[in-house]
Amino acid sequence: MRIPCPYCGDRDSQEFLYRGDAGLRRPEGEDGFFDYVYLRDNPAGTIREHWYHAQGCRNWIVVTRDTRSHEIQGATLAAGAGR
């Protein structure tokens, strides 16, 4: 799989570390913290994911990817992703 790093261009996925779903928000207080840590959805379709370019520019990026086909629709730097 090739990941389009906004800084370095297209790179092999082995240069990156996968962090997970970019859409999750840490709950405030204790309510919902168990679900946040242990219960995750496994959606089929387009999701946003955090990836770290460990073997390149060392930037965090948000990749939009279809989990069924692994087709990547785009990537942005995480700092500008509008969390």
Domain spans, the chain: 2-24+41-80
What is the C-alpha separation between 36 and 62, in angstroms, rounded?
19
CB 15 within 8 Å of CB 7: no
CB 74 within 8 Å of CB 66: no
CATH class for domain 2-24+41-80? Answer: alpha beta
What is the C-alpha separation between 8 and 61, in angstroms, rounded?
11
- Tokens found for residue 1: 């799989």
For the stretch 22-65, pLDDT in tens is 888 888 888 888 988 888 888 899 999 999 999 999 999 999 99
pLDDT of 80: 63
**Residue 83: band (very low, low, confident or very high) from pLDDT cuts 50, 70, 90:** very low
CB 16 within 8 Å of CB 6: no
